[in-house]
Amino acid sequence: MRLLNLSDNNFKNHIPRHLSNLTNLETLDLSSNKLSGHIPQDLGKLSFLSYMNFSHNLLQGPVPRGTQFQRQKCSSFLGNPGLYGLEEICQESHVPKQSEELSEAEEQVFSWIAAAIAFGPGLFCGLVIGHIFTSHNQEWFTEKFGRRKHRVVTSAR
């Protein structure tokens, strides 16, 4: 298993220590639950774990030391008022609300960039499929959407 996303599930209780047995784990997202207690120190031993998100839970205590944790963004720990030891990760003595607002703004910019990138290939694929459809079903297409001949009716008196 490489990706474990358990976010937004309303999970309660502690983070299970046996998650550290998932040695091939690369991404762990436990955000937006009601998890409490400490973050297991053993998660720092997962050598492939490059992204983790514990934000918006009820976690407390120190953020574990270790390379895996120190490489995370500050936003991975937001919304846990009981956590401390984020100075090295966040490069400041406390986590301001502004950083959360900035990350939301960055996400909105990313969404627009993704939409703009997807627009071109989507339009191209639509035109290609339309061309293929109209070239193979030309009679049907012209019958339904082509120019219609209008009859002029004149009455003779």
Which residues does residue 58 pair with via DSSP β-bridges, in sequence order? 36
Per-residue pLDDT of the chain (157 residues; tens, 9 = 90+): 689 999 999 899 999 988 888 988 999 999 999 999 999 988 888 888 889 999 999 999 999 887 788 888 999 999 998 999 888 888 754 444 445 555 666 666 667 777 778 888 899 999 998 888 777 777 776 777 776 666 666 766 6
Q: Would the pTM count as exceeding 0.75?
A: no
Distance CA 138, CA 117 (A): 32
The DSSP secondary structure of 19-65, one letter per residue, reads GGG-TT--EEE--SSEEEEPPPGGGGG-TT--EEE--SSEEEEEPPP
Asked if 85 and 63 touch (Cβ cutoff 8 Å), the reply is yes
